[in-house]
């Protein structure tokens, strides 16, 4: 991985006696697309605000490229922010909005004009110089907010739920746009969202947060396939989280039945949680399964069928392209590679959440 750019060291922050961040440590690399992902109130926005300079941590330090910037005001930081709901200056036109930072840095008129043209081209809004922000759609305002930030050539762009106010179609489109822009600009993006799909689509690295703690840091694949605790497993995608016992290395007892797995190092006869993604549960003939059960619910989801199968006293969530009607007896099989073993939650923040947000 490329050079380390930002270090957040032991950051704690509380508001009105409420702990929002607790001893947070995070390293962000140059040219990385990092997403802070978590439910509302997990501390992701506060982390971003501390990076931007809009909040000061109670303890800990922010080090940027070897320099401590913890106390540096936002106007002196080499980062720029794209705010939630855009925060465009409604009394200025688009060109003036984009030129704002450049004028403050006393750039020449020609330089500013060039930059405005370049930025509007980058965000696909050429010719919008003289429009007022109010006359633009949400998606367009979003692009202007990005243009306004990037003309200042920040080394890091901070984005606070920038797509939150857009509709689904536009959101998906903007995800690709953002990836394209990031590659074109070659800078670091730190992105905050509660939308796991956005995080999985765009990020190089996902930082899953809950209740002020980082739950897991990793690539989208590792976060999805190898969640480290029940919270991560539950928050990212659908999953079956089942209480189990690790009998020995590579052998786990799930619902009283022995399953082969690939994990090692959890000890002997130790209680653990296992995560099995619904698309990894194979439904076979009753005689061929490790477990047998009965289909209790069936919903057509477009790409696949979503079924619930009662087996071993547990309601298994299963995604499959093959249809098994309600009441059918089925066997369940899981490939050893698809069984992810996790330690039992040690604290509340690591537990699975009831509702996905």
Name the residue nearer to other proteins (CB basis): 141 or 215: 141
Task: Annotate each residue in 292-331 with x if it binds other proteins (CB under 8 A) or - if it does not, as one string.
Answer: ----------------------------------------
Handedness of CA 136, 138, 143, 147 (dihedral sign): positive
Residue 185, burial from CB neighbour count under 10 angstroms (0-12, 13-18, 19+): middle
Task: Pick out residues in 4-63 that bind other proteins (CB under 8 A).
Answer: 52-54
| Cβ neighbour number for residue 42 with a 10 Å cutoff | 27
Q: Does 344 bind other proteins (CB under 8 A)?
A: no
Dihedral, CA of residue 105, residue 111, residue 114 and residue 118, to nearest 10:
-40
Residue 149 or 174: the one with the smaller Cβ distance to other proteins is 149
Q: State in angstroms the smallest separation of the CB of 109 from other proteins.
A: 17
Q: φ, ψ for residue 234 (rounded to 5)?
A: -75, -35
Considering only 31, 45, 46, 81, the residue that binds other proteins (CB under 8 A) is 81
80 contributes a contact to other proteins by CB under 8 A: yes
Query: 207 forms bridges with which residues in the sheet?
Result: 36, 217
| SS3 call for 23 | strand
152 touching other proteins, by CB under 8 A: yes
CB contact burial 108-139 (16+ within 10 A = b; e otherwise): eeeebeebbeebbebbebeebbeeebeebeeb
Number of residues in contact with other proteins, rule: CB under 8 A? 26
Tell me the closest approach of the beta carbon of residue 88 to other proteins, in angstroms: 8
Tell me whether residue 104 or residue 323 sits nearer to other proteins (CB atom).
Answer: 104
User: Interface residues for other proteins in 102-121 (CB under 8 A)?
Assistant: 104-105
The 3-state DSSP class for residue 115 equals helix
Task: Quote the strand ranges of 30-88, DSSP E.
Answer: 33-37, 59-64, 67-68, 79-82
Q: Is there binding between residue 83 and other proteins (CB under 8 A)?
A: yes
Instruction: Tell me: does residue 193 bind other proteins (CB under 8 A).
Output: no
Tell me whether residue 157 or residue 334 sits nearer to other proteins (CB atom): 157
Question: Does 89 sit near other proteins (CB under 8 A)?
Answer: yes
Q: Residue 223 corresponds to which tokens in the numbers above?
A: 């976060």
Binding region for other proteins (CB under 8 A): 52-54, 73-77, 79-81, 83-85, 87-91, 100-101, 104-105, 148-149, 152
């Amino acid at each position: 991985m490329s050079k380390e750019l930002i270090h957040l060291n032991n950051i704690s922050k509380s508001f009105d006696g409420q702990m929002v961040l607790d001893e947070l440590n995070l390293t962000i690399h140059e040219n990385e697309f990092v997403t802070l992902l978590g439910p509302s109130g997990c501390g992701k926005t506060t982390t971003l605000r501390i990076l931007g300079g809009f909040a000061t941590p109670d303890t800990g330090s922010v080090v940027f490229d070897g320099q401590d910037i913890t106390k540096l005001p936002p106007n002196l930081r080499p980062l720029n922010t794209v705010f939630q709901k855009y925060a465009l200056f409604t009394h200025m036109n688009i060109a003036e909005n984009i030129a704002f930072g450049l004028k403050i840095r006393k750039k020449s008129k020609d330089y500013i004009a060039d930059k405005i043209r370049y930025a509007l081209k980058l965000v696909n809004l050429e010719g919008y110089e003289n429009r007022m922000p109010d006359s633009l759609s949400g998606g367009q305002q979003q692009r202007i907010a990005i243009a306004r930030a990037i003309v200042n050539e920040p080394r890091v762009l901070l984005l606070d739920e920038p797509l939150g106010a857009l509709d689904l179609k536009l959101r998906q489109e903007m995800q690709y746009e953002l990836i394209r822009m990031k590659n074109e600009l070659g800078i670091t993006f730190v992105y905050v969202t509660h939308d796991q799909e956005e995080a999985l689509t765009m990020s190089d690295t996902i930082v899953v947060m809950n209740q002020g703690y980082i739950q897991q840091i990793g690539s989208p694949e590792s976060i999805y396939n190898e969640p480290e605790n029940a919270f991560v497993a539950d928050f990212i995608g659908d999953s079956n989280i089942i209480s189990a016992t690790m009998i020995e290395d590579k052998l786990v007892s799930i619902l009283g039945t022995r399953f082969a797995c690939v994990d090692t190092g959890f000890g002997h006869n130790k209680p653990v949680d296992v995560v099995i993604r619904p698309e990894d549960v194979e439904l076979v003939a009753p005689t061929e399964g490790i477990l047998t059960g009965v289909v209790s619910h069936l919903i057509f989801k477009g790409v696949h069928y979503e079924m619930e199968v009662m087996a071993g006293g547990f309601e298994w969530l299963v995604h499959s392209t093959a249809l098994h009607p309600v009441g059918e007896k089925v066997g369940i099989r899981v490939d050893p590679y698809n069984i992810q073993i996790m330690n039992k939650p040690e604290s509340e923040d690591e537990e699975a959440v009831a509702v996905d947000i």
